[in-house]
Structure formats: structure tokens, C-alpha cells
Amino acid sequence: MLIGIILVLAGLEARRKAKTSKETVAKTDRVKSTAPRLSNRLIQKLTINGRLLPHLWIIGLLIIVADFTLNFFIQKSEIGGNDLIVIFFGIALIFYNPPEWMAIGPYVANWIKKKYPREMDFMVVFLGLLILILVIPIYAQALWTGHTQGAQSGELYFEGDMVFVLLTAPLSGILSVLGVANTASGALLTFWMADGGKAEVGIAATCAGIYSFGIFLSAFIAFVLSEYSRFTRRIGILLVVGSAMTYLANLLRMTLIVLAGYYNGVGAGDNPAPFTLLWTHEYAGELIFISWVAVFWWIAFKYLASEPETELKKARPVKIDNKIETAPGEPAEDNNWKNKVVELRKGKTA
């Protein structure tokens, strides 16, 4: 999870630098849009028209204290991955708008907010979405069933039938097509290796692609909200395609892991030999995820390059005193103006 977050942030920073460099050397007909970004509007509404903005640091601090209290004094458990999401979200709220008397207050107000406004919006929205998608459903189910232990990892919420539907069943089907004899039940996959041996693979919730999908969905939505002032069809297409490819990339990862076990064996737990099942799971699996994240963001930046935060003003050719003119500072459209011309008359537009 942390690897995915780091890659997303690195990609956004690289895009910001490349965009700034390009704008300084290239001439463009685009004019800066005055519309507020989607993230600005969202945060404004969530903070009751900005009334809660001065108190976000208090909310963030309370969130962190509540999480530590829940783990150490109520559940008597350690900090898990879901707790880290909550803690990071609390820290992001504290840094988003700290008071002047706080040590970081002037630093944030005078430098970070001016240089990295989008990145600050991104972090708050991204972590908030992660909590909505991953953390809240897990803890809601844990409270409903009374099994609060283990909620930090999400295993209780995502185990069993959900893992079977999302990964075990389709993985079993792919392996059967590839000629690997196997059976699937719940989160357990049993397959017979090339040498005739039998192996079993227990698929955890984290391997089912739920977390990678949650990270992707949160990151992409946060990116769009912090970069754009409107949601377009092109962004929607990229979201759907990216979500599908994230799921397929995880399915490919698990297929390669099982195939490695089919041909080369499972491998020892402490020190698995290269290209065995455990070795592939430990190293090649992460490589596939990192490669997909890099490829997706490269495609996203290229695909959305024609829809930057600035908007192109369209010319409005008008006929005034039998002369065709365009609005000041706007490029002329094509020469086929005769079919598009707008005549301005006294109090009437024809």
C-alpha cells in the first residue's frame, strides 16, 4: 500500500515539474481557467462553506487520538495498515490549515500552500477516499459482528466469499485453460504441480486486489478532483479502463505466481529459491504492480494532456456592420462562418 502511495505522489510531482517547464517555453492559445478546481469545491462544501477550515487541525488531532485509543486501550492490539491510513489522514488535516501559532503554521501558509496547493488537496482527498472505501466498511462490519480484533487488516471483512468471487474462482478458470489441474473453495486454491505433487495456496484479502483497487480508485479520483474544474467523458473512460486493468493486472500477478509453483515448486518459507512460488510472490508480484502503476500514470498524463486545467476559449464570430470580427484575444474559427454567423441586432440575436 505504501509503495502505491509513494509512486502516485512521485508521478504527480514529476507531472507538475514537466508541466511547469513546458509552459515556460511553449506558446499556447489557451487561457487560464478561472473556475475553481473540483477539490476546492468539495472541501468547501465538506467544511460547511469553509467554516470548519480553521478547526481542521483539531479534527485531525482528534482522529489520531481516537485511533490510538481504540487500538491500545480498547482492542489491545497493534497498529495495522488501516490504522496508518487513518493516522495519515489526521496528519494531512493538521497540515492542511494549521493555526499561525503552531510551529508549522507560517511555513505552510507562506510556502507550501502557494507552491503545492494541488498536492495538499490531493493528499486530503486521497486519504479521505481510502477511509471511505477501505476502512469504514471494515470497522462497520467489525462492530456489527462484534469481532473487532483483526479489523486493522481487513481480513474479517474481505475473507471467504468475496475473495472467492474476486480472485479464487477466476484464477481457477484461467489455470484450467492453461492446463493446470486445480480446485477452488473459498480462499483456498489447490493445484497439482508438473511433477505430480500437490500444493495449496491460501489467498489473503490483500492478494485479492481489493487494496490495490482501492488505492487506484482513490488516487485517480483525488488526482482528477485536484487538477480539473470539471469531470469530462474522457476522464470517465480512463477511470473505467484503469479500474478494469488494475483488476486484470492483479489477476495476472496471481496467475504467474501459481505457474511459478506449478513448474518450480513452492519453495522454502525462510529462503525460497528463485522463481519458486514463494519467491515470485515476494518479488515478481510487487514488480508487476509497480510496472502497472507506472504505465497507467504515463498513459493517463498522455491521454489527458489535451484537457489540462486551462480551457481553450472558442471564438464567437459576429457580423457587425457587414464585417466579420472575433472577440478580442480569441482565435478565429474556420472560414465556414457563413453557416454559423450570428447577427447582433437591436435587442435581438438571430
316 falls in which pLDDT band (50, 70, 90)? very low
Residue 261, pLDDT score: 93
**CA distance linking residue 341 with residue 345, whole number of Å:** 13
Q: Report which of 136, 137, 128 is spatially closest to residue 45, judged by C-alpha positions.
A: 128
What average pLDDT score do residues 150-167 get? 62
Please give the residue that has the higher pLDDT: either 14 or 129. Answer: 129
What was the pLDDT predicted at 140? 74
What is the grid cell recorded at 168? 479464487
Instruction: Give dist(CA 296, CA 301) in Å, integer.
Output: 9
* 237 within 8 A of 224, measured Cβ to Cβ: no
Residue 23 has a pLDDT of: 47
Q: Three cell numbers at 59? A: 479534527
Residue 292 has pLDDT above 70, yes or no: yes
Structure confidence by residue, pLDDT tens digits, 245-254: 888 888 999 9
Higher pLDDT, 55 or 323: 55
Which pLDDT belongs to residue 90?
Answer: 95
pLDDT at 24: 42
The better pLDDT of the pair 189, 153 is held by 189
**Per-residue buried b or exposed e for 92-127, using 16+ beta carbons within 10 Å of the residue's own CB:** bbbbbbbeeeeeeeeebeeeeeeebebebbbbbbbb
Query: What are the cell numbers at 337?
Result: 462562418
Mean pLDDT (the chain) is 76
Nearest to 259 by CA among 348, 321, 194: 194
The larger pLDDT score, comparing residue 270 to residue 166, is at: 166
pLDDT tier at 231 (50, 70, 90 boundaries)?
confident
pLDDT bucket at 318, cuts 50 / 70 / 90: very low
3-class secondary-structure state, position 319: strand
Domain ranges of the chain: 52-156, 159-311, 318-349
pLDDT of residue 176: 95
Residues 38/225, Cβ–Cβ less than 8 Å: yes
- The answer to whether 169 and 182 are in contact (CB under 8 A) is no
* pLDDT, tens only, 84-103: 999 999 999 998 988 888 88
- State the pLDDT at residue 33: 44
Give percent of the chain above pLDDT 90: 27
- pLDDT for position 145: 63
